[in-house]
Amino acid sequence: MLLTMGAEAPRDLPIPGRELKGIHYAMEFLTQQNKRNAGDTEDKSKAIMATGKNVIIIGGGDTGADCLGTSHRHKAASVHQFEIMPLPPNERASSTPWPLWPLQLRVESSHEEGGKREWAVATTHFEGDANGNVKKLHAVRVGPAPKFAPIKGSEFTLDADLVLLAMGFTGPVQSGLITGSGMALTSRGNIETDNYQTSLPGVFAAGDARRGQSLVVWAIAEGRQAAASVDEYLQAKSE
């Protein structure tokens, strides 16, 4: 058995007001749109739409950019995208020379379409109306990592009708197969392996489930390497 279920457990934002209606994980929003584009039947009462709404995206990565582009397609009234890290330089930072992944500002096609991006911002709490719908986001400017210390006097508030949490993923979903099998996990919550084999004999893992959230090229490479490990397990060799 080879486990390649990805790292789909989203990182949450446990602050006051998180339970308000209108606050969703990014993948809830994006998955619905993909199914909608494919012509799947949907329950309109559960549809997450940005149309005519003040949208705030928390998270500055690729998933956040996808939420930005989709919100534009929905014709949102306004879109803000927040990132807790400081604004990266326009060119590769000297702290990340080749072959390290470069620290520099990236502008996706979604950003070129509109919306406002802000860096060094931390959300403190959400405010809702009498019906339990999110209506305002409260935030503060912060200093650099790792402390992200709030900057006194920099607090601000924005209208918010739809908040999308795009802060990355914490690893594979553990409920069900992983916890039920009792297989060992790393300190980060990913599946622990030795030459792609888990702590359970004959059970292997590859891709994001093993290494954490990463790029598709890594998933392809790990799939090939894991296949070779399975081959060796079954036949004592691999070509």
Q: pLDDT value at position 181?
A: 93
Neighbouring C-beta atoms of residue 65, cutoff 10 Å: 22
What stretches of 59-120 adopt beta strand conformation (E)? Answer: 78-83, 116-119
Cis peptide leading into residue 14 (ω within 30°): no
- The highest-level CATH class for domain 10-169 is alpha beta
What stretches of the chain adopt beta strand conformation (E)? Answer: 2-3, 9-10, 23-25, 54-58, 78-83, 116-119, 121-128, 134-141, 156-159, 162-165, 169-171, 204-205
Q: pLDDT value at position 18?
A: 98
Q: Under 8 Å CB-to-CB from 50, ≥6 apart: which residues?
A: 29, 70, 71, 74, 75, 76, 79, 162
Compute the distance between CA of residue 86 and CA of residue 227 in angstroms, rounded to an integer: 41
Quickly list DSSP for 18-46: TTSBTEEEHHHHHHHHHHHHTT----GGG
Quickly list DSSP for 44-64: GGG----TTSEEEEE--SHHH
Q: Which residues pair with 217 in a beta bridge?
A: none
Q: pLDDT value at position 166?
A: 97
Q: pLDDT value at position 116?
A: 96
Q: Both tokens of residue 71?
A: 């919100």
Q: pLDDT value at position 48?
A: 97
What phi and psi, each to the nearest 5 degrees, are found at residue 220? -65, -45
Print pLDDT tens along the chain (239 aa): 999 999 999 999 999 999 999 999 999 999 999 999 999 998 989 999 999 999 999 999 889 999 999 999 999 999 999 999 999 999 999 999 999 989 999 999 999 999 999 999 999 999 999 999 999 999 999 999 999 999 999 999 999 999 999 999 999 998 889 989 999 999 999 999 999 999 999 999 999 999 998 888 999 999 999 999 999 999 988 88
Place of tokens 């503060």: 140
Q: pLDDT value at position 112?
A: 93
Domain boundaries, the chain: 10-169, 172-235
Q: pLDDT value at position 238?
A: 80
Q: pLDDT value at position 156?
A: 98
Q: Both tokens of residue 56?
A: 């705030």
Q: pLDDT value at position 239?
A: 80
- Amino acid found at 50: A
